[in-house]
Structure 1
Amino acid sequence: MPALEAIELCAGAGGQVLGLELAGFHHRLAIELDQNAANTLSENLEARRGLLPSTIVQCGDVADPEVWKPSDHEGIDLLAGGVPCPPFSIAGKQLGASDERDLFAWAVEQVQFMRPRALLLENVRGLSMPRFTGYRQHVLDRLQEFGYVGEWRLLHASDFGVPQLRPRFVLVALQEECAPYFHWPEPVGEAPTVGETLIDLMAANGWEGAEDWAERAKKIAPTIVGGSKKHGGADLGPTRAKRAWAEMGVDALGVADHGPAAGDTFEIGPKLTCDMVARLQGWRDEWGWQFTGRKTSVYRQIGNAFPPPVARAVGQAISRALRHVGKPREREVPEQDPIYRALRDHGDFMTAAQLTRASKLHLDAPELEHRISLLSRDFEIEIRNGANTTAYRLGQFKAFLGQDDHERHERFLQYRARIS
């Protein structure tokens, strides 16, 4: 069947690009900020192209109209992206809409200009937390205004044959006529262990301890963390992850240039190479995907990627929905944030008593203040203190949506060299 066309935002080194291509999508355009990752994309996509037209890979700020114009691609089959994770990461400050790296809401806004048949955005598990309930609700509301049905789902890479847990929070939205045909992909079975996945690479240089090591490493990996340019070189994650790696006989303090050799001994175990990390992210040797740049850059490209098998599974589900394949299903009840919806629907100041009645929540004063405080991190909240009561009104969403005067522009220029 003819390939469906996709455009990829914040494409990185191509984990999602590759997965979607395996699912039958052809990328018309891929945009990535990091030059090394853009080089990786260009080289691999050209090598794989065959009879299909070449993919244009643009290196630059995806929100810069000089880099590309979303309106030039109206009617594309799929708009996809892995927009920056730090604004939502549990390990970070969770600044959300106040973070200069946040492009999630901006990407959603492009739907109104591009009118893609489907939207796919993935991010870290942190976006699924209560902290971002209002943010998520705003996204679903905007998609509904544009005529799309959106759903969130937390997917674990280990359910799709990837030897690490790696939870990712995924948003899929489709035009209303296609939405009933979308079914989230089902798990494919138990993932292989780290030992099973890497034993041949550990033994490739004659290391005698490979089989014993593989027996010790009979678990799936902790989530691999590529990290950002704000934080040092390549290693396999925070302290807790390093302990988990050590239990499997892996030294997580850095990445090796090559696998262990004959006669090598280790206090903890060998370090992983970038080739090993790529396998743990779901890349397969037969795909022939090559990474460009120095070791730290390559590790970061791999570690920050969306595992190709997960992207392929979601891409196949979207492809079937776009072709109206299968049995339609009932739409899932969308997520609701009662406090946000009450404030939004009312449009004016509401007292605590009014919010309690409208939201049908029984919250005491501290609980309500906490909920308001969470909303205020992503929305302007006006507070009016009266003699006997306090009233609240929902103001503007703080996120960058493409505004010319948004502070994101200045902060982006200030921190560009450290954004990844």
Structure 2
Amino acid sequence: MFAGDSDLSLTSIDLFCGAGGLTLGLENAGFLSVMGLDTNRDAMATYRKAFPDAEAVEGSIAGYDFGQWRGVDLVAGGPPCQPFSNGGKRLAAKDNRDMIPEFARAVNTIMPRAFIMENVAGLLAPRNREYMAEILSLFSDRYTILPPRLINAADYGVPQKRMRIVLIGLLKGSIDFPAPTHLPGRYVTSGSVLRRGETQGYSNPSKIVYARRPDLRPSPYAGQLFNGGGRAINLDLPAPTILASAGGNKTHFIDELHAVIPYHKHLWDGGKPRSGELEGGRRITILESAMLQTFPTEMEFAGSRSSQYTQIGNAVPPRLAEVIGASVARALN
């Protein structure tokens, strides 16, 4: 039993913890993390090093006995998002990677005082409306559950546009969804983290190559002017969403020589697409990706370069987790 073991801290567990972005934010909000669970070996190695006092369970949530964690104050987690992601097959409940029912099972077994579930925006798409209602019905009717909220991490001080849904449930009492801490025009910009002419961390050797058939949009920073999913970052705004598939040409980049805007104008005016590499284009590093996610600079990620990018892209931004966690902590206290 954990509730009452300490007068100083509320306790939490993080399911599908990955590298621990959610855990880190919850700890900053005043929760004592007692357990993290994930199937990814590299992510769990990262987690163990960052949270040596928490029990690190490397394995599947399916079939795991959560009875031992009864008394924990908060169960939090971001079940795998591939079933609902716009980048996936969008099969929802028909996708065998859908672990939301297992997350609900954990909550109903532990019966924590609160739970937080984070997931991709696609979960609120019209095609998933019936499934969303089914999800809400999975949790014990003893919980008061706030309507699922679509939020932008940039509204909470993250220097990155990242749309996610958050579901909060409370066993007793009431809670208001945390209000945004930042508004458009006052966002934390990517330029507060990234700098032209200064590479932070080990360089990424992936090149930026002109697309043969550009997907042209009104903004030079939208569409696809270059091969892959990586986009030029406007340093005056939050960065585009950091992708779990980053590492190669899906890694966003810095336009060191201010060449993207003139090239966009060239295309907009009817010019032909160019070929070869973009001179002065530089992919952001692992460290810079982590900083855009609001991980501390001293955070160490285990595994290959590709694995580290994946762990960072999959994570809940610690800053976002802290704001949400603080709101829950206030309700519990």
Could you tell me the TM-score, scaled by structure 2's length? 0.76
Pick closer, same or farther for the CA change 1:250–1:98 going to 2, 3 Å.
farther
Shift of 1:37: 0.4
Q: Which residue of 2 aligns with 1:146?
A: 141
Q: Which residue of 1 aligns with 2:61?
A: 62
* DSSP-derived class of the 2:195 partner: helix
1:125 maps to 2:124: no
Q: For residues 219 and 314 of structure 1, what CA distance do their matches in structure 2 show? A: 23
1:19 maps to 2:25: yes
Q: Which residue of 2 aligns with 1:167?
A: 163
Q: Which residue of 2 aligns with 1:43?
A: 49
Q: For residues 240 and 160 of structure 2, what CA distance do their matches in structure 1 show? A: 6
Shift of 1:191: 2.4
Q: Which residue of 1 aligns with 2:225?
A: none
1:110 maps to 2:103: no
1:224 maps to 2:242: yes
Equivalent residues, number: 278
Pick closer, same or farther for the CA change 1:220–1:247 going to 2, 3 Å.
farther
- Check the 8 A contact 1:87/1:95 in 2, yes or no: yes
Q: Which amino acid aligns with 2:92?
A: G
* DSSP-derived class of the 1:28 partner: strand
Deviations 1:129-176 (A, max 9, x none): 111111111222333x4310112111211011111110111111111x
- Check the 8 A contact 1:21/1:27 in 2, yes or no: yes
Q: Which residue of 2 aligns with 1:196?
A: 192
Which consecutive unaligned segments of at least 5 residues does structure 2 have?
1-6, 202-231, 261-276
* DSSP-derived class of the 1:5 partner: strand
Q: Which residue of 1 aligns with 2:212?
A: none
- Check the 8 A contact 1:250/1:272 in 2, yes or no: no
Q: Which amino acid aligns with 1:155?
A: I
Q: Which residue of 2 aligns with 1:336?
A: none
Deviations 1:76-103 (A, max 9, x none): 1001111101010012111111112110
* 2:307 alignment partner, one of 297, 313, 316: 297
1:270 maps to 2:282: yes
Q: Which amino acid aligns with 2:37?
A: I
* 1:318 alignment partner, one of 304, 307, 328: 328
Of Structure 1 and Structure 2, which has the larger fraction of its residues in helix? 1
Shift of 1:111: 2.3
Identity %: 35
- Check the 8 A contact 1:83/1:123 in 2, yes or no: yes
Q: For residues 259 and 316 of structure 2, what CA distance do their matches in structure 1 show? A: 23
Q: Report the structure number with the largest CA radius of gyration.
A: 1
Could you tell me the TM-score, scaled by structure 1's length? 0.61
* DSSP-derived class of the 1:270 partner: strand
Shift of 1:17: 0.7
Q: For residues 13 and 307 of structure 1, what CA distance do their matches in structure 2 show? A: 11
Shift of 1:204: 6.1
- Check the 8 A contact 1:83/1:104 in 2, yes or no: yes
Q: Which amino acid aligns with 1:146?
A: D
Which consecutive unaligned segments of at least 5 residues does structure 1 have?
47-53, 206-213, 228-232, 252-264, 324-420
* 1:187 alignment partner, one of 180, 185, 199: 180
Pick closer, same or farther for the CA change 1:20–1:236 going to 2, 3 Å.
farther
Q: For residues 215 and 39 of structure 1, what CA distance do their matches in structure 2 show? A: 31
- Check the 8 A contact 2:39/2:60 in 1, yes or no: yes
Q: Which residue of 2 aligns with 1:382?
A: none
Q: Which amino acid aligns with 1:98?
A: K
